[in-house]
């Protein structure tokens, strides 16, 4: 399992790669992930129909710049891949600053930052630069060059599966289409890699998806059966210093929603209701699927000034924040793996616990009172309708205490799954 420092190093390793929804940058990112966990790689050809969408042409870029009359690059793709609007068509021209201005994007409120812009499905081109750079450009002619290609190719994505004791699946999804943006979404990728390494002999089968946003999730859903998916998390913005935020699934009270709310209960956090705007939870939760898939972030998308700018760099995220995100996910999945419904086999009155040695087993324990109460709550609510998480929430006891009580009662023959 990667430490916080190792997760941060993985972010730094992936940060310079020029990612988009297709292309060699996505493949290079999957290569970097594959250095830590094995991946099944998939290449879906341009033109493939995926529900109402079509896999687009593949975009790759080698170089881009704006140069002044002396040949000096005043905007240089080699310095930051954010400088070029994603999916820009090739350009080789000389034009005046006035002609160039409609193709330039800045952030006047943050004059030293470079924005992130894309144009996936509308052929155009453009550059992103700091407002202070634009303000310093004199009138005159400039050489404009974008050495890119848009051609038939493939959409690439990767999967890592941790086999469980059952075939029912939990999915963890991260998008890999953003270029040099550390929190959105490289931190999420790094946390997902560490989480995949940490899972040992889980109850559920865990499927980790690393794919481009929107078109990647739609493509995956179109190519795969979803009957085995029981729960899921879309993971993004996992490394900033803000409090954790969980966005519920479309169902609103799916088991994954209840589990994450319980895992977050003792720390500062925010719970948000579902909306059809955001990351790929909106694909998994579209009405034709309506899967129990929520989204976990720290500060949500568009909720911090650095979002989709050059200020979202490796210095913006912290190893400790990524570790904290990982801790919550591990706790949540531990609950998910152990959450069951039980039926009381002696439901007429309270069964005698002493003669079964259950009271004796508590002797000398510092938490004896809590353990006893947990047994009584499990016996009372083990009616086949309440799961262990529901019992923990209603009783106010910790999930671990309730799960341990259920195990003890099961071993004594008083409850069954």
Give residue-wise pLDDT tens across range 145-189. 999 999 999 999 999 999 999 999 999 999 999 999 999 999 999
Residue 273 has pLDDT above 80, yes or no: yes
- Taking every pair of Cα atoms in the chain, the longest distance, rounded to a whole number of angstroms, is 94
Domains defined for the chain, CATH in brackets? 4-56+154-337 (3.40.630.10), 59-151 (3.50.30.90), 340-416 (1.10.10.10)
pLDDT at 362: 56
Point out the least confidently predicted range of 72-81, 263-272, 296-305, 367-376.
Answer: 367-376
Neighbours of 165 (CB within 10 A): 11
pLDDT at 361: 59
- pTM (2 decimals)? 0.95
Distances in whole angstroms, Cα of residue 47 to Cα of each of 40, 52, 118? 22, 12, 20
CA dihedral for 243, 333, 159, 322, sign (positive or negative): positive
pLDDT at 354: 81
- DSSP letters for 205-229: EEEEEEE-TTHHHHHHHHHS--TTE
Contact (CB, 8 A) for 96 and 144 = no
The span from the CA of 77 to the CA of 323, in Å, is 32
Beta strand spans in 279-375 (E): 293-297, 341-344
Contact (CB, 8 A) for 359 and 39 = no
Q: 44: which 2 tokens?
A: 């879906």
Contact (CB, 8 A) for 301 and 313 = no
| Region 49-74 average pLDDT | 97
pLDDT tens, position by position, 207-239: 999 999 999 999 999 999 999 999 999 999 999
pLDDT at 372: 86
pLDDT tens, position by position, 378-414: 999 999 999 999 999 999 999 999 999 999 999 999 9
Q: Provide the mean pLDDT of the chain.
A: 95
Write out the binding residues. 178, 184, 308
| Region 361-382 average pLDDT | 80
Write out the binding residues for Zn(2+). 178, 184, 308
**What phi and psi, each to the nearest 5 degrees, are found at residue 260?**
-65, -40
Percent of the chain topping pLDDT 90: 94
Neighbours of 243 (CB within 10 A): 13
């Amino acid at each position: 399992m990667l430490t916080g420092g190792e997760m941060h190093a993985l972010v730094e390793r992936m940060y310079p790669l020029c990612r988009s929804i297709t292309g060699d940058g996505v493949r290079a990112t999957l290569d970097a992930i594959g250095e830590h966990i094995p991946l099944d790689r998939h290449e879906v050809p341009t033109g493939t129909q995926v529900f109402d969408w079509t896999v687009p042409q593949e975009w790759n870029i080698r170089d881009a710049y704006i140069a002044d009359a002396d040949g000096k690059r005043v905007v240089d793709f080699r310095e930051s891949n954010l400088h070029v609007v994603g999916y820009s068509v090739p350009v080789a021209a000389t034009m005046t600053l006035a002609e160039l201005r409609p193709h330039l994007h800045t952030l006047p409120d943050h004059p030293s930052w470079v924005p992130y812009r894309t144009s996936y499905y509308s052929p155009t081109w453009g550059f992103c630069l700091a407002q202070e750079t634009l303000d310093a450009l004199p009138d005159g002619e400039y050489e404009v060059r974008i050495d890119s290609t848009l051609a038939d190719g493939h959409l690439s994505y990767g999967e890592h599966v941790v086999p469980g004791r059952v075939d029912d699946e939990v999915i963890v999804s991260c998008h890999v289409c953003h270029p040099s943006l550390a929190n959105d979404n490289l931190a999420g990728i790094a946390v997902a890699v560490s989480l995949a390494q940490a899972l040992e002999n889980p109850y559920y089968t865990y499927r980790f998806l690393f794919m481009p946003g929107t078109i990647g999730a739609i493509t995956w859903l179109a190519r795969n059966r979803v009957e085995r998916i029981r729960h899921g998390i879309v993971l993004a913005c996992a490394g900033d210093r803000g409090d954790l935020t969980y966005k519920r699934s479309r169902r609103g009270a799916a088991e994954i929603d209840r589990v994450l709310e319980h895992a977050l209960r003792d720390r500062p956090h925010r719970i948000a209701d579902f909306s059809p705007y955001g990351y790929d939870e909106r694909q998994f939760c579209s009405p034709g699927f309506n899967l129990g898939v929520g989204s976990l972030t720290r500060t949500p998308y568009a909720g911090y000034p650095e979002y989709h700018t050059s200020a979202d760099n490796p210095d913006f995220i912290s190893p400790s924040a990524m570790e904290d995100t990982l801790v919550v996910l591990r706790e949540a999945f531990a609950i998910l793996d152990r959450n069951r419904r039980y039926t009381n086999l002696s439901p007429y009155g309270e069964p005698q616990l002493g003669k079964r040695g259950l009271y004796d087993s508590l002797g000398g324990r510092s938490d004896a009172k809590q353990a006893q109460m947990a047994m009584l709550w499990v016996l009372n609510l083990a009616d086949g309708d309440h799961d262990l998480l529901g019992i923990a929430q209603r009783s106010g006891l910790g999930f671990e205490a309730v799960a341990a009580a259920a195990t003890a009662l099961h071993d004594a023959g008083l409850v069954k799954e």
